[in-house]
Amino acid sequence: MKTAKEFLKTIFFIEILRGLALTLSRLFTHAVTRRYPKVKRPAQPGFRGLHALVRDRDTGKEKCVGCCLCAAYCPSQCIYIYTSEDEDHKKIVDRYEIEVLRCIFCGFCVEACPFGAISLTEHYEYSDYSRDAFYMTKERLLSNWDKYMAGQKGEGYFRKFWRPMSEDFGTPEKQATWRKIQNAK
């Protein structure tokens, strides 16, 4: 047996009307979507996008020494490194290549590298018509650095992530904890 109240609710479509009122009220709020190609969403610092090899500021060459640790750590095994020796038995990196199509952007290479020589930039729009465009050679990786990470950005990059320097998070006094937010809704 339905009570009278329930009966009234049923014949007047109360719950449906309440839902409609909610959707109607949303008409007068701001849109949460973005007009994507025109309005880009800024990537957060430390975003794991396209790779770049760090260019040493002093020598103007890559920082990488060809130790192959990143290649050993990479879960999808998509880093290829070829090295040789020069006259005074110094290791030189002949080829450093990343097959970006196979990369899963886990960032393990950055974590492994003991020289801070490889980074993931904030660039994520790199679709292309050919697969060759995603085979990153050393030159292209270096130019990625110039394009997306030059200046301040590149210097701050290694600080933010990858179990960073103690000056940022490591010391307990500076660690983030809960604090009352004044004007939270």
Partner 1 sequence: MPEVEKILETRELNVNMGPQHPATHGVLRLVLDIDGERIVNVKPVVGYLHRGVEKLGENRTYFSALPLSDRLDYISTMNNNVGYCVAVEKLLGIEAPERAKFIRTMVAEMNRISNHIIALATHILDIGATTPFLYSFREREWLLDLFEMLCGARLTVSYPRIGGVRNDVSQEFLDSLYKFTEEFPSRINEYETLITENRVWKKRTVGIGVISAEEAINWGLTGPTLRGSGVNYDVRKHAPYDAYDKVDFKVPLGKNGDCYDRYLCRIEELKQSNRIIKQCIEKLPKGPIMADVPKYVLPPKDNVLKDMEHLIHQFVLITKGPTAPEGEVYVSTEVPKGELGFYFVSDGTGRPYRMRVRSPSFIHVSVLPRLCAGHMVADVIANIGTIDIVLGECDR
Q: Write out the residues near ligand SF4 by the rule CB under 6 A.
A: 64-70, 74-76, 78-79, 81, 98, 103-109, 112-113, 115, 117-118
> Which of residues 78 and 142 has its CB atom nearest to ligand SF4 in the complex?
78
Among 121, 125, 105, which residue's Cα sits nearest to residue 52?
121
DSSP string, the chain: ---HHHHHHHHTTHHHHHHHHHHHHHTTS------TTTSPPPPPTT---SEEEPBPTTTSSB------HHHHH-TT--EEEEEEE-TTS-EEEEEEEEETTT-----HHHHH-TT--EEE-S------SSGGGGEE-HHHHHHHHHHHSTTHHHHHHHHHSSS--IIIIISGGG-------TT--
Could you tell me the smallest distance in angstroms from the CB atom of residue 166 to partner 1?
6
- Residue where the block lists tokens 């109607």: 24
Mask for 40-59, x = binds partner 1 (CB under 8 A): ---xx-xxx-----------
Residue 118 interaction partner, one of partner 1, ligand SF4, none, beta carbon < 5-8 Å per kind: ligand SF4
185 contributes a contact to partner 1 by CB under 8 A? yes
184 contributes a contact to partner 1 by CB under 8 A? yes
Query: How many angstroms separate the CA atoms of 123 and 48, rounded?
Result: 8
Residue 65 interaction partner, one of ligand SF4, partner 1, none, beta carbon < 5-8 Å per kind: ligand SF4
Residues in region 5-34 near partner 1 by CB under 8 A: 10, 15-16, 18-19, 22-23, 32
- For residues 160 and 46, the answer to whether their CB atoms sit within 8 Å is yes
Could you tell me the smallest distance in angstroms from the CB atom of residue 125 to ligand SF4?
18
> Which of residues 67 and 134 has its CB atom nearest to ligand SF4 in the complex?
67
Give the interface with partner 1 as residue ranges (CB under 8 A). 10, 15-16, 18-19, 22-23, 32, 43-44, 46-48, 67, 69, 72-75, 104-108, 111-112, 114-116, 120, 158, 160-166, 169-170, 172, 175-179, 181, 184-185
